Amino acid sequence: MTDTPRILVTRKLPQAVEARAAETYAATLNPADGAYGPDGLVAAAEGMDGLLVAPTDRVDAALIGRLPDSVKIVATFSVGYEHIDLEAARARGLVVTNTPDVLTDATADMAVLLMLAAARRAHEGQTLLRAGKWAGWTPTQLMGIQVTGKRVGIVGMGRIGQAFAKRARAFDMAVHYYNRRRLDPALEQGAVYHDTVEGLLPQADFLSLHCPLTAETHHLMNGDRLALLPDGAVLVNTARGPVVDDDALIAALASGKLAAAGLDVFQGEPDVDPRYWALDNVFILPHQGSATVETRNAMGFRALDNLDAFFAGKEPGDRVA
């Protein structure tokens, strides 16, 4: 390793983050922000000591097997790390870190935005206005669903789930949740625990997903489980697209089983299942959950903190492999 570690930053990061990276490291940045494919990433990693990657980089076992020996750490600019094969990383002695905590509030805020926008038919209102077709206020126009006072179900009561619950309580919502482990009462704050997803769903007028994508949560919200929601429920997904089975969700939205959905994440991003475009009762955004200046800076600094610790011979605070 050279005195100044060499790092490859695979995507364009906020200016303050890139400035710090360039100050601390011999950093190869990506100002054009084109995503490296596997071959490009392997080639660009030549001679690097570490990689600062993003969720758009697929660091699977095949890619890990092709990385130059010089690469000792992969720090991802994300809390989620399903794009990295941790087992393969461990087997190769590659350290992997993520960026927890710092995007909790921004993501919980986004879930509230989606919940309100879906329930209050924001997409239809915007469309009406932007098409120049609004003829004025009427007593029955675009009547949506009241959020205040309803029951909300949360799948995954980790940091983001708890932050969302806090916001839901401000709307006088009764909070129900499923989590692999029940929280301490101090953290539950009166939320009702369900030890199965199936037990939670019938209680959820609104359902917000906050679980990581794993083999167990892939297509967790399938047709059978969506059928357990009360008629007219609203689903919100700021977690990962594949937690929801698109076929089942689209059918439930089209039939009216679900009143609406608010989605920030999609299976196969950046592609979006085109059937969503035909549904007026879906409010969608392009994976913007953590996209605030404050949060994206904090994510970058957190990734750099992990690299700094590693290259100083210390244990990185957010090591996941």
Return the number of the residue (55 or 161) whose C-beta is nearest ligand DGY: 55
Burial of 150 (0-12, 13-18, 19+ CB in 10 A): buried
Residues composing the chain: 321
Burial of 89 (0-12, 13-18, 19+ CB in 10 A): buried
Q: Exactly one of 103, 115, 309, 321 binds ligand DGY (CB under 6 A); which one?
A: 103
Q: Does 242 bind ligand DGY (CB under 6 A)?
A: no
Among 20, 123, 210, 240, the active-site one is 240
Say if CB 96 and CB 155 are below 8 A apart. no
The CA dihedral of 305, 306, 309, 312, to the nearest 10 degrees, is -100
Return the number of the residue (55 or 230) whose C-beta is nearest ligand DGY: 55
Q: Does 55 bind ligand DGY (CB under 6 A)?
A: yes
Q: What span, in angstroms and rounded, lies between the C-alpha atoms of 28 and 303?
A: 15
Residue 103 C-beta: closest distance to ligand DGY, Å: 6
Active site residue 240: yes
Q: Exactly one of 45, 64, 79, 213 binds ligand DGY (CB under 6 A); which one?
A: 79
Q: Does 290 bind ligand DGY (CB under 6 A)?
A: yes
How far CA 76 is from CA of 95, 152, 213, in Å, comes to 11, 31, 16
Stretch that binds ligand DGY, among 32-40, 76-84, 197-205, 242-250 (CB under 6 A): 76-84
Q: Does 217 bind ligand DGY (CB under 6 A)?
A: no
Return the number of the residue (30 or 295) whose C-beta is nearest ligand DGY: 295
Site string for ligand DGY, 243-282 (x = CB under 6 A): ----------------------------------------
Helix (H) or strand (E) holding 130, with range, is helix 122-130
Residues that bind ligand DGY (CB under 6 A): 55, 78-80, 103, 289-290
Residues marked active site are found at 240, 269, 287
